[in-house]
Amino acid sequence: MAKTPSLHPRLANCAGRSWKELYTDFSLSPQGYTMEEAARKRETLGHGKEERRPWDSIPARLFRSFCNPFSLVLLVLAVVSFLTDLMPKTAYTHSRTTGGVMLAMLLLSGLIRFWQELRAKKAADRLLRLLETTVLVLREGQWREISSARLAVGDQIRLRAGDRVPADLRLTQARDLFLSQSMLTGESQPVEKTADAIPLPKTPSLAQYQNIAFAGSAVMGGSGEGIVLALGTDTLYGAQRESVKKNASFDRGANAIAGVLLRFMAVLLPLVFFACGLTKGNWGAAFFFALSVAVGLTPEMLPMVISACLAKGSAVMGRKNTIVKSISAMQAFGSMDVLCVDKTGTLTQDRLQLEYYMDVLGNDSPLVLDCAYLNSLYHTGVQNHLDQAVLRVRELPNQRSHWAELERQHEKLDEIPFDYERKMASVLVKDGQQSLLLVKGDAEAVFRRCKDLCYEGNTYPLPPDPMAQLDAATDGLMADGVKLLAVAQKRQTEPQITADSEKDLTLLGFLAFFDLPKTSAADALAALDRLHIPVKILTGDHLSVTQSVCRRLSIPAEKALTGEQLASLSEDELMLAAENTSVFAELTPKQKAKILTVLRENGHCVGFLGDGMNDLPAVLAADVGIAAEGAAKTLQEAADVILLRKDLGVLEEGVLEGRKVFVNMSKYIRITASSNFGNILAVAAAAVLLPFYPMASVQLLLLNLLYDILCLILPWDSVDEELYARPRPWPDRKLGRFMGFFGPISFLFDLLTFGFLYFFLCPALCGGGFFQLTAQQQSLFVSLFQAGWFLESMWTQVLILHLLRTKRLPFVGSRPALPVLLVTAAGILVFTTLTFTPLGTLLGMTALPPAYFLFLLCIVSLYLAVVTAAKSLYVKKYGELI
C-alpha cells in the first residue's frame, strides 16, 4: 500500500484521540463557534480560500491600472521631458512641453484600464457567487449553510450523500458513511468511515485513517459529522491540486504567444538601442526610445483582452443557461470536437417511470414492490433516478397508509449503499425478531449472488444454467427499452451487514422501468452534428436498453461495445474502437474515463456531460467536464461547465458562444502578433538607417494607447459564420506562420513610407536633404517625418485589424460590429486631426500638406490590395485565416 504523502500533522494527532478530547483541544462547545470565534480561528489556524483576495479589491485594481510598465515609462518620460525643458535643446530631442500631454495620456490609459478591471471584477464576482459551494456548519448552536470558503479549523460540519468533503475532517459521527477517495487515491471503490479513535502505526497509509474524511472525497452514502482539521492547501487534496492544474493548454498557448514576441524583442531591442546610441550619439535618448519601443510592442493587453472576453462570454452564456468557469474552459468548450454523454436525462427524460413490479414469472407482485420500496427508502446513497421512481409509489391514491405501516414495521438496521462496481444496494431491516436483508440492483449482479428463488411464498432452487434462463426472460423486455432491476432478500440473525451477507440470496422478482426517450434529443444531436461535434454515448446501463433508446431517437447504434468487450481490447485496438464506435454500454466509471483519455490521446478535445456520481472520473478526465445543475455537488464542483438546464440544446448555444469568444481572442492574438512583428522590424530598420528617431517615444506610446483601445473593443466584434462553424484548435502552433506571413507586408509598407518621407516629401518641404539643413530646418524635417510615419502606422494598424478579422472582403463581405466600426473610425479621425492641432505640435508633429495625404491614400489602398491578395493566398494555402 502506498505510503502516506505529507499530511497536516494535526491529522495524525487527532486520529488517535477520542473526539471528546478534541473538544477540549480546540476548546469547542456543542454550540459550535460563534461568528467572531470562527473569524479569530481563521486568523490563527489558517483558512482555505481568502474571503477577500487582496489582489481583488478595488484599491488593488486601481493600483494595477496605473502602475504598470506602460504608465511607468510614460511617467519617467514625462519627468525627463519636464527636466529637459529646463535644458538647452539639442537637434534630436523634442523637449517641448510634452510632459503635460504625457500625464494626460497616463490618466486616460489608467482610467480605461480601471474601467476594464471593474467590469472584469463584476464578471468574476458573479461567477464566484454562482459557483460558491456551501456546507452545513454548526455555528452559534444552529446548523447553517455557509460558503465552504468561510470555514475555520475547529468548525463542526455535517456531510450528506452527494457532498464533496470540503476540508480534512476528524469524524465525530458516521452513520453508514461511505466515501469515495478516488480523487486522492484513484481507487473508485467507496470506503466506510467510522468515528472511533484509531491508534495509528508509525507510518500509516491513507487507508488506515479510518476516522478522517479527506478533503476532495465524495460522500457516496450515509451521513456523518466531523471537526475541521485542515483547510485549503493544508489539505492533501489542496496541495495536490496546487501542483497539477488542469487544462493547461490555454495557459500554455497564451504563454507561447508572449514568448514568441518576447524572443523577437530580446534580439531586436538591444539592436535598436545600440544602433540609436551609436548613430545618434545620445545614449540617454536611445535608452528611452528602446524602452518605449519595448512597451509599445509588448502584448500587454493580452490579459486584459482575455478577461474582457471572459466577462463578455460568461455574461452571454449565462443568459443561455450555461456557466463556464474559466477562460481555459471557454477555450476548450469552443475547441471541443467530440462530445460524450451519458444516457439518462440526456437522451431520455429525467423522470424514470416504474412500470411493472413482478415475480420471477412475470406476475404482479406487491411483495417485490414492498421490498424495493424499503430498500430505496432506507438507502442513504446519492438518490438516483431509479430510487426516485420507486419512491414515487407513495403518490399513488389510497396507499399512503400502506407505506406508512410498512415503514413502521421495518426499522432500518444497516446498509451498504449502491456503488457502480457492485451495481446493487443492500439494506438491512428489522422484521419481527429477525433481520431481513433487502437487495436491489442490476439483474445479473444480483442473480449471481442468489442461491434460490421465491415464487408464491415457496422457495425453489435455481433452474439449471440460471444465467441463460435470466437472459431469456429479460432480453425481450430490455430490447424494448425497459430497464430492469432484480430484487432479492435474505433472512439473517446478525443485526448488521458483513462482507459475507450479500450472497446466498433468494430472488424475489424484478422491477421494470420505462426510460422514455427525450424527443428534443434528436434535434439537439442533429444540431451538434452541424457544429461538427460527433456525440458518443457512454453509459453504465445495459446494451439492449441503450440500443433501444438510440433506435427510437434514430441514432445508429448497431456498432456498439460493452464494458466487457472493451476490457478484452489491447491499447491499439482501444484507440481504434474509441474512434469508430459511438455507443458504449455496461461501462464501469473507470471505463468511461478511460475512453475519454484514449480519445484525448488520439488528439481530440473531448467534452463529457454526465449527472451521476459514477460520471465523476469521466468529468475529471475530459477536456471539458460538463454537469447539469441538478447533478451531485461533487460533480458540479469538478465540472468546467455547468448547464442550468440538462438539455443538449443548451449545449449547442453554449458551444457557439464559446467559439465566438474564442475567435475574437484569436483575432486579437494573431493581429497583434503580426502587426507587432512588422512594427518591430520597421523600428529596428529605421533606427539603423535614419540619422534621427523615426518616431518620438511619446508618439510610440500614443499609438500604443490607441491600439489598446481598439483591442478592448474586439470582444464585442461580430464573428463570421464560417469561423465558428467548426471546432478550432488553439492558435499557438500556427501563430509563427501567420506572423511570418503578414508581418513583413506591413514592414514593406513602412519602408516605402520611410523612403517617400525621407527622400521626397521632407526634402521638398524643408528645402534639401537632411544633412544639408540647418538645425532648425532639421527639426522641421524630423517632425514632418515623424508625423508622416505616425499617421501611416496608425492607418495601417487600424486597417489591418479590419482586414485580418475576416476571411471575406472587409466591410462588404463581413461587417464588423458597430462598436468596433465606431471606435476605429473615431480613432482615425481624432488622431489624424491631432496632427493639425497645437496638441500635435506639443507631441512633436507638424501638420502635413495635402501631397502627403494623397500619398497616404495611395499607400493605404495599395496596402489594402496587397493584404487582401495575401489573405486569399494564405487561405488557399492553409485553408484558414484566424
Ligand X SMILES: Nc1ncnc2c1ncn2[C@@H]1O[C@H](COP(=O)(O)OP(=O)(O)OP(=O)(O)O)[C@@H](O)[C@H]1O
- Which position among 176, 225, 234, 342 is part of the footprint of ligand X (CB under 6 A)? 342
Q: Which stretch binds ligand X (CB under 6 A): 102-110, 419-427, 797-805, 856-864?
A: 419-427
One-letter amino acid for residue 53 of the chain: R
By beta-carbon distance, which residue lies closest to ligand X? 540
Measured CA to CA, the distance from residue 190 to residue 183 in angstroms comes to 11
Binding mask 700-719 for ligand X (x = CB under 6 A): --------------------
Measured CA to CA, the distance from residue 490 to residue 867 in angstroms comes to 80
State which residue, 631 or 856, has the beta carbon closest to ligand X: 631
Give the three cell numbers for residue 651: 449545449
Site for ligand X in 463-522 (CB under 6 A): 485
- Closest-CA residue to 72 (of 261, 268, 273, 292): 292
Measured CA to CA, the distance from residue 674 to residue 746 in angstroms comes to 9
User: What is the closest distance, in whole angstroms, from the C-beta atom of residue 349 to ligand X in the complex?
Assistant: 11
DSSP for 208-219 reads G-TTEEPTT-EE
User: What is the closest distance, in whole angstroms, from the C-beta atom of residue 387 to ligand X in the complex?
Assistant: 5
State which residue, 139 or 385, has the beta carbon closest to ligand X: 385
State which residue, 352 or 823, has the beta carbon closest to Mg ion: 352
State which residue, 617 or 810, has the beta carbon closest to ligand X: 617
**In 181-278, which ranges are E strands?**
191-192, 212-213, 218-230
- Which position among 612, 715, 727, 810 is part of the footprint of Mg ion (CB under 5 A)? 612
Q: Which stretch binds ligand X (CB under 6 A): 104-112, 192-200, 336-344, 575-583?
A: 336-344
Site for ligand X in 565-624 (CB under 6 A): 612, 614
424 binds, among ligand X, Mg ion, none (CB under 5 to 8 A by kind): ligand X
Phi, psi of 511 (to 5 degrees): -115, 140
342 flagged as catalytic: yes
Q: What is the dihedral of CA 104, 109, 111, 113, to 10 degrees?
A: -170
Q: Which stretch binds ligand X (CB under 6 A): 160-168, 271-279, 436-444, 696-704?
A: 436-444
| 617 binds Mg ion, rule: CB under 5 A | no
User: What is the closest distance, in whole angstroms, from the C-beta atom of residue 441 to ligand X in the complex?
Assistant: 4
| 440 binds ligand X, rule: CB under 6 A | yes
User: What is the closest distance, in whole angstroms, from the C-beta atom of residue 509 to ligand X in the complex?
Assistant: 14
State which residue, 212 or 616, has the beta carbon closest to Mg ion: 616
| 423 binds ligand X, rule: CB under 6 A | yes
Measured CA to CA, the distance from residue 158 to residue 526 in angstroms comes to 44
Q: Which stretch binds ligand X (CB under 6 A): 24-32, 57-65, 341-349, 860-868?
A: 341-349
423 binds, among Mg ion, ligand X, none (CB under 5 to 8 A by kind): ligand X
State which residue, 122 or 645, has the beta carbon closest to ligand X: 645
Q: Please name the helix (run of DSSP H) or strand (run of DSSP E) that holds residue 357, with its range, or none.
A: strand 353-359
User: What is the closest distance, in whole angstroms, from the C-beta atom of residue 454 to ligand X in the complex?
Assistant: 19
State which residue, 113 or 423, has the beta carbon closest to ligand X: 423
842 binds, among Mg ion, ligand X, none (CB under 5 to 8 A by kind): none
Give the three cell numbers for residue 732: 499557438
Site for Mg ion in 261-320 (CB under 5 A): none
User: What is the closest distance, in whole angstroms, from the C-beta atom of residue 71 to ligand X in the complex?
Assistant: 54
State which residue, 232 or 417, has the beta carbon closest to ligand X: 417
User: What is the closest distance, in whole angstroms, from the C-beta atom of residue 425 to ligand X in the complex?
Assistant: 4
Site for ligand X in 379-418 (CB under 6 A): 384, 386-387, 418
Beta-carbon contacts of 798 under 8 Å, excluding residues fewer than 6 positions away, are 710, 824, 827, 828
User: What is the closest distance, in whole angstroms, from the C-beta atom of residue 669 to Mg ion in the complex?
Assistant: 39
Q: SS3 for 853?
A: helix
Say if CB 524 and CB 476 are below 8 A apart.
Answer: no
Q: SS3 for 279?
A: helix
Beta-carbon contacts of 463 under 8 Å, excluding residues fewer than 6 positions away, are 469
- Which position among 117, 155, 225, 342 is part of the footprint of Mg ion (CB under 5 A)? 342
State which residue, 381 or 810, has the beta carbon closest to ligand X: 381
Catalytic residue among 163, 234, 337, 342: 342
State which residue, 440 or 449, has the beta carbon closest to ligand X: 440
By beta-carbon distance, which residue lies closest to Mg ion? 612
Q: Which stretch binds ligand X (CB under 6 A): 324-332, 438-446, 555-563, 792-800?
A: 438-446
109 binds, among ligand X, Mg ion, none (CB under 5 to 8 A by kind): none
| Integer angstrom CA distances of residue 239 from 168, 357, 751, 787 | 12, 49, 55, 56
| Integer angstrom CA distances of residue 369 from 46, 283, 364, 456, 828 | 51, 92, 9, 14, 77
Say if CB 244 and CB 178 are below 8 A apart.
Answer: no
Length of the chain: 882
Give the three cell numbers for residue 546: 441503450
Helix axes 775-804, 818-834, angle to 10 degrees: 170
Say if CB 855 and CB 738 are below 8 A apart.
Answer: no
Q: Vertex 546, ends 545 and 547: CA angle to 5°? A: 95
User: What is the closest distance, in whole angstroms, from the C-beta atom of residue 612 to ligand X in the complex?
Assistant: 4
Q: What is the dihedral of CA 36, 39, 45, 50, to 10 degrees?
A: 170
Say if CB 229 and CB 19 are below 8 A apart.
Answer: no
Q: Which stretch binds ligand X (CB under 6 A): 208-216, 437-445, 707-715, 735-743?
A: 437-445
| Integer angstrom CA distances of residue 163 from 415, 552, 662 | 19, 35, 33
Phi, psi of 76 (to 5 degrees): -60, -45
Beta bridge partners of 512: 356, 484
User: What is the closest distance, in whole angstroms, from the C-beta atom of residue 180 to ligand X in the complex?
Assistant: 15
Say if CB 404 and CB 377 are below 8 A apart.
Answer: no
Beta-carbon contacts of 378 under 8 Å, excluding residues fewer than 6 positions away, are 412, 415, 427, 429
Q: Which stretch binds Mg ion (CB under 5 A): 334-342, 406-414, 447-455, 815-823?
A: 334-342
485 binds, among ligand X, Mg ion, none (CB under 5 to 8 A by kind): ligand X
State which residue, 84 or 344, has the beta carbon closest to Mg ion: 344
User: What is the closest distance, in whole angstroms, from the C-beta atom of residue 150 to ligand X in the complex?
Assistant: 33
Q: For ligand X, how many residues bind (rule: CB under 6 A)? A: 19
Helix axes 98-131, 697-713, angle to 10 degrees: 30
- Which position among 65, 172, 321, 539 is part of the footprint of ligand X (CB under 6 A)? 539
State which residue, 330 or 484, has the beta carbon closest to ligand X: 484
- Which position among 419, 442, 623, 647 is part of the footprint of ligand X (CB under 6 A)? 442
541 binds, among ligand X, Mg ion, none (CB under 5 to 8 A by kind): ligand X
| 631 binds ligand X, rule: CB under 6 A | no
- Closest-CA residue to 412 (of 222, 540, 679, 678): 222
User: What is the closest distance, in whole angstroms, from the C-beta atom of residue 199 to ligand X in the complex?
Assistant: 37
- Which position among 334, 540, 678, 727 is part of the footprint of ligand X (CB under 6 A)? 540
For the chain, the distance separating the N- and C-terminal CA atoms, rounded to the nearest angstrom, is 51
| 424 binds ligand X, rule: CB under 6 A | yes
Measured CA to CA, the distance from residue 412 to residue 375 in angstroms comes to 10
| Residues designated as active site | 342
Q: Which residues bind Mg ion (CB under 5 A)?
A: 342, 344, 612
Binding site for ligand X (CB under 6 A): 342-344, 384, 386-387, 418, 423-425, 440-442, 485, 539-541, 612, 614
